[in-house]
Chain A
Amino acid sequence: MYGIGVLKGLGVTLKHFITSYVEDLRWLGRRYFNEDAMESRQGPRARGVFTVQYPEEKLPVPEEFRYIPFLLYEIDEDGKPQDRCTSCGICAKVCPPQCIWIVRSNDPQTGRPIPEPAEFFIDIDICMNCGLCAEYCPFDAIKMDHDYEMAAYDRMTQHIFNKARLSKPVSYYASIRPTNYTREEEARASKEAAKAAKREGG
């Protein structure tokens, strides 16, 4: 009979419509603005309304999520920040859109280059968030951030980030990427230990 197909289709829509109310009732009004409910709204078993009410509520980002790079610094015994970056320039060389500019600093007495960048710029209008800089940095000094809300009022003056704007403490990195941080610290520790053993042995 003509029209059966349309009716079957409407049945599917009706099912979706009813499910959305059933799901809302199941959570007794706590389905929205509630982090515990997020998994049931977005996971493989999700049913009902799928929408996330951004910006009032936000999806948690996974650890590997990548947005605009940042530079890591450690705090030394005197409480002073120490850049991990050695201004080797690998990130600037690997960057596909070439949005990284690094000014290497020189020792004022000898004039030789010293392993600390005098300045570090990233043009975030050009950055394509590919993450290659973080992937190939041999010192774990540049990493991809999780902060994706960076709209500014003036792109002419505010979209070239300098070293001060880019630098964030290692503790911040550890908080956004705990698994990566632990793995890298373990690798670093074992490397140090191997070096120390070699020194003692030699």
Chain B
Amino acid sequence: MTDQERSVVAEAVDPLLARFPGVATKDERRSYSGYLVAADRLIEFATALRDELGYDYLSSVTGVDYLPEGKWKVVYHAYKTSGGPALIFKTQVAREDPRVPSLVSIYPGADFQEREAWDLFGIHFAGHPNLRRILMWEGFEGHPMRKDWKEPYFEEEAKPFKSRWPEGNVSRSEDASPFRGNFQYPPGFSPEGWVPEADSALYAGVGRVSASAGDNGRSLETDQIVVNLGPQHPSTHGVFRMVVTLDGETIVDLQPVMGYLHRNHEKIGERNTFLMNMPFTDRLDYICSMSNNLGYALAVEKLMGIKPPERAEYIRVLMVELTRVVNHLWAIGFLLNDLGAFFTPALYAMEERELILDIFEATSGSRMMCNYMRFGGVARDLPEGMFERAREIVFDRLPRRVDEIETYLTDNEIVRGRSIGVGVLPAATAIAYSAAGPVLRASGVPYDVRKADPYSIYDRFDFNVAVRYGGDVYDRYLIRIDEIRESLKILRQVIEGMPGGEIQTGKPQYQVRVPAGEAYGRVENPKGELGYYVVSTGKPTPWRYHIRAPSFINLTAMGEMCKGQKIADVVAILGSIDIVLGETDR
């Protein structure tokens, strides 16, 4: 945040500081920003924030474990959907028996995020309607993101591990675990005898209902039934489960269950050095590794106070926008798969994706796990011929192919019949549930981080924020086509304006010095707003490394979208949200 931005925010909130004397104070620590709010007045503060100041969008909620000080902080990032920088507010509680009021009643989008903070940190959100574990399994012992919690293969607090050099006693970590696997049990636990009790909470809503009286005046007594879609179900795009309560074919309630691919990415990130996290970010949303890289690089660059050279900025935007095209092609292809058009549209879309992945492979060395961005630049320059190839694809091939996909699908009566009016998410609900990206914009909210809070060099390019107003599956399909067109517009400007010169600020270093402080780097990922909240204490490893994952948070509104719909539409609605489980489960 620049000083100017900070003063804009301060001006807006200072009346609030005056309104809540002694409750809200400025976070005065060096390189920190935002406001500290007393936990018992948090609800009041947040309500005023939303209703009086227009911060209607709660982007991120996360905990930070300040172990040496014996404190927890819960950090909130709120935005206005009309644009502008974040308002950060924090609340602080003692480490023993941490209790914070839940904000779900004000910002329903906090639901899953607070559950995540409870699950991983053990912070109790009082008043949360459904405070259960979300990523870990129900029998899990402890809260893994706490700084004093150690994982099964624990070696040391931070990498690099001393056993690697110079003695180098090679061993397989698998052999070190007494259970010969990546897990540990609480004392006295027997996996054979365990009954997952918490699952019964998912089925609590099931009951007997009376259907409305028919023509003969008699009502029909029916049982609701529960259908478990997943975790092994082809339409869930991975290991994801939806517990659907049905009345006949109509959905009464839907609860997403996730965490099957959970690996505690954030804990790994807090053992890693800053640079080591870069290849791990590839593995979040593995369709869009380039834009994951960018978000992380931006967060750390904010802390370091450096900027990449001009050419690197252009290459970054080139790669990130190509990634957006890749992702949307993929999303459209697989949405059609979910609608029953088995693989022909998906493979047409994937042909184009292959050509873009060829550019990624030649430039970064890998098709999907690109690991391409560095702090203050990119890893290497575009190899010979790749710029020309990108030009040919962007100017010549892709526009024709996008038109072809539109001819192929947009007017198709089956596609329209299956998707128009299905899974409608009204604008107000989308904002309240913190939906992001195409899901938010298809509901008529023209919010795009590239315009609302420009990063990198997006303020230089001429493009429109795609917006559609229906909020249904069909509009979420159309908006992705629109966004591919807008991305191509940006790409043409990037290719025309690509300057020469350096691609890295300073000398490439494997051990970067990151000054103490906090930073929130957010980018408009193809799936929505991706945010990295990084806290540094000046050490080689980040103290806190949190990811605001769009795939995860967009699922908060999934239940809302599905209520009252037919069971067969769940698959289409999930496909239209476009999740990647690598990012959802982290």
Contacts and interface: CB of A to CB of B under 8 A. Distances in A.
A90 B169 CA distance: 17
A62 B165 CA distance: 33
Interface string B357-368: 010011111100
Contacts of A87: 165-166
A9 B383 contact: no
A39 B195 CA distance: 57
Contacts of B397: 44-45
B30 interface: no
Interface stretch (A21-29, A70-78, A97-105): A97-105
Given A100-B164, A101-B168, A62 B369 contact: no
B364 A64 contact: yes
B344 interface: yes
A102 B366 contact: no
Nearest to A134: B365
Nearest to B386: A62
A102 B412 CA distance: 61
Interface in B147-202: 159-161, 163-170, 172
A94 B393 CA distance: 36
Nearest to B410: A5
Interface string B57-94: 00000000000000000000000000000000000000
A101 B170 contact: yes
B280 A96 contact: yes
A135 interface: yes
A120 B166 CA distance: 10
A33 interface: no
Contact of A131 (B167, B275, B365): B365
A139 interface: no
Interface string B248-282: 00000000000000000000000011011111100
B411 A12 contact: no
Interface stretch (A122-130, A167-175, A186-194): A122-130
Contacts of B344: 13
B396 A131 contact: no
Contacts of A31: none
A60 to B, nearest CB: 11
Contacts of A90: 510
Contact of B351 (A8, A50, A64): A50
A9 B157 CA distance: 57
A89 B165 contact: yes
Nearest to A117: B168
Given A44-B355, A64-B363, A119-B168, A16 B413 contact: no
B379 interface: yes
Interface stretch (B208-216, B318-326, B401-409, B563-571): B401-409
Contacts of B277: 96
A64 B359 CA distance: 11
Contact of B161 (A16, A98, A119): A98
B412 A160 contact: no
A85 B231 CA distance: 47
Given A44-B389, A94-B275, A136-B510, A12 B407 contact: yes
Contacts of B393: 44
A130 B273 CA distance: 15
Given A92-B164, A101-B170, A102-B165, A5 B411 contact: yes
A168 B84 CA distance: 55
Contact of B279 (A16, A130, A136, A179): A130
A42 B412 contact: no
Nearest to B171: A101
B361 to A, nearest CB: 6
Contacts of A100: 164-165
Given A102-B165, A104-B165, A129-B369, A136 B411 contact: no
Contacts of B365: 64-66, 131, 144
B349 to A, nearest CB: 12
Interface in B88-123: none
A62 B361 contact: yes
Given A44-B393, A130-B369, A50 B354 contact: yes
B281 to A, nearest CB: 11
Interface string A3-37: 11110110111001000000000000000000000
A120 to B, nearest CB: 8
A123 B170 contact: yes
A43 B356 CA distance: 10
A181 interface: no
Contacts of A16: 348
A12 B351 CA distance: 15
Looking at B168, B351, B383, the one whose CB has the most chain A CB atoms below 10 A away is: B168
A9 B408 CA distance: 4
Contacts of B280: 96
A195 to B, nearest CB: 19
A26 B392 CA distance: 23
A5 B412 contact: yes
A57 interface: no
Given A113-B166, A136-B510, A92 B411 contact: no
Contacts of B364: 64
Given A8-B411, A104-B165, A130-B371, A66 B392 contact: no
A164 to B, nearest CB: 14
Interface in A134-188: 135-136, 144, 160, 179
Nearest to A156: B172
Contacts of B411: 4-5, 8-9
B132 interface: no
B416 interface: yes
Contact of A93 (B160, B279, B369, B407): B160
A47 to B, nearest CB: 10
A21 B10 CA distance: 66
B414 interface: yes
Contacts of B358: 42, 62
Contact of A2 (B279, B371, B409, B413): B413
B159 A98 contact: yes
B508 A135 contact: yes
A6 B418 CA distance: 13
A12 B510 contact: no
Contacts of A132: 275-276, 279, 371, 510
Nearest to B415: A5
Contacts of A8: 407-408, 411-412
A101 B161 CA distance: 10
B355 to A, nearest CB: 6
B380 interface: yes
11 contacts: A6-B413, A12-B408, A44-B397, A64-B380, A92-B168, A96-B278, A102-B164, A113-B166, A123-B170, A129-B366, A130-B279
Given A45-B392, A64-B362, 12 more contacts: A8-B408, A11-B407, A12-B408, A64-B361, A64-B363, A98-B160, A101-B164, A102-B168, A119-B168, A129-B366, A135-B379, A160-B170
Interface of B: 159-161, 163-170, 172, 272-273, 275-280, 344, 348, 351, 354-355, 358, 361-366, 369, 371, 379-380, 383-384, 389, 392-393, 396-397, 404, 407-416, 508, 510-511
